[in-house]
Amino acid sequence: MIKLSVNVNKIATLRNSRGGDIPNLSEYSQLILESGADGLTIHPRSDERHVRKADVPTLLKLVRSFNKAKRTQKEFNIEGAPDKRFLKIVLDNKPDQATLVPVSPGEITSDHGFNLSRDSKTLIPLIKKLKKERIRVSLFVDAGVKNLEIAREIGADRIELYTGPYAEAYDRSREKGSSSLKLYEKTAIEAKKAGLEINAGHDLDHKNIILFRSLTGLKEVSIGHRLISYALIIGLEAAVKTYIRNLAKEI
């Protein structure tokens, strides 16, 4: 079963655009978990344009309390740039998973993965500290990434495939999406051979996920923007349940 982690950044963005606490991030995150999502993902950027540093312990407590009350195992995933600020947030809160993502100044959203040969020296000490606290580590990478075995050698448990190019191809046609998926499949097979588990995320929606779910070894998808956008049409609970249903649907 492929797990669905819902990125709640867009809910926080809406809240921040007006000030105050509407929509309430905890209330909507609770609804997401109650709707069947397997966990929550956040990306607390340094400019705090969506999820803020102060939101992190609140959401962590929400997930842990939900698990205790429901006797379940929902997960909390924090993603962000491999820097001192991010490391402190993660070590202070100890999520189930930390997803390391390269960040470019001024970017609207994450749009590329790590160059493992170039970036490994920066990643090694950070990963070592995270693994010491028994936090699962995932590295954000592009399909077709070079030297994928380096990810495992430096201590990562998983990769998260950047699926923006796949989503853009699928938007043009299902056939183009299918063609794009071939490179992701090749990368997934290489990841599995290297001993890595596989996550994926970015612009996956309730339609293109039906094709993408066939990817070899796919463990988890992290979805925010398109799920929340779809929720504006059918409601948040229905959107989460649609994604879950379509992740389980056979091709």
Catalytic residue, candidates 43, 50, 160, 206: 43
Contact call for residues 211 and 251 (beta carbons, < 8 A): yes
Burial readout 90-103 (b: 16 or more C-beta within 10 A, e: otherwise) = beebebbbbbbbbb
Residue 79 is among the residues annotated as catalytic for this protein = yes
Separation CA 59–CA 52 (nearest Å) = 11
CA 153 to chain centroid: 22
Catalytic residue, candidates 79, 160, 206, 220: 79
Total residues belonging to the chain: 251
Catalytic residue, candidates 50, 75, 160, 202: 202
Separation CA 167–CA 131 (nearest Å) = 32
Distances (CA, A) of 79 to 41, 71, 93, 136, 171: 7, 25, 13, 12, 26
Separation CA 3–CA 5 (nearest Å) = 7
* Amino acid at the residue 191: A
Tokens of 224: 């925010």
Residues designated catalytic: 43, 79, 202
